[in-house]
Amino acid sequence: MRNGIMLLPCLLLAGCVSQAPLLKATASGNPEATFTQATAKQIRDELAGTCAQSGGILETSEYTITCSKQNDSMRGMFAQAMLGNACSHTPMERIQFTTTQRGDDVFVTARAWMEIDKCFGEKELVPYDNNNFRNEVQTGLDGAVARWNAKRPTLPVATPAPQHRELDPAKRCDACQDLTDHL
């Protein structure tokens, strides 16, 4: 009977949280985007700025940006109750962007997880690997690419060099004729 009582809320919660269809299938299976005519440092700086503006804690390395925030929402409290223990800290949500330079472009992938610090240094990691998460982050990356394309400096269009044509000798001025005669 007790198992039936515990199973009912789980079934109700599972029924309410259905997985959306994936908006964009990617080779890595994670959200990804390509920023054209950029350096990896420029894109990491953009991602770091977005994290800082949202109040996140920033960790960086040569290839990654990790943005972390405490999750003190109902979802965080629920996760702490289900996965934590008596001395657990408030869960942290982390999203990590990996950037790689590909010629003149930068390729970015993202992954995220919830992390709960337990007693004695133990950590519980719960990956966010469902379509709802992937769609949300993919939409964010696609928007970041559009903003990058709108603000990046455009290279000037090369104009062809003017074509010099030889003038009819009868139409040249006398001074010009004298100059060309001495060359």
Three-class DSSP category at 33 = strand
119 Cβ contact partners less than 8 Å away, ≥ 6 residues apart? 85, 86, 87, 88
pTM of the model: 0.68
Q: Kindly state the percentage of the chain with pLDDT values over 90.
A: 38
Task: Report which of residues 179 and 83 the model is more confident about.
Answer: 83
Closest Cα partner for 99 from 136, 42, 44? 44
| Residue 5 reports pLDDT greater than 50 | no
41-46: long-range pairs with CB below 8 Å, 24+: 42/106, 43/99, 43/106, 43/108, 43/148, 44/97, 44/99, 46/144, 46/148
| Residue 80 reports pLDDT greater than 70 | no
Average pLDDT, rounded, for the chain: 76
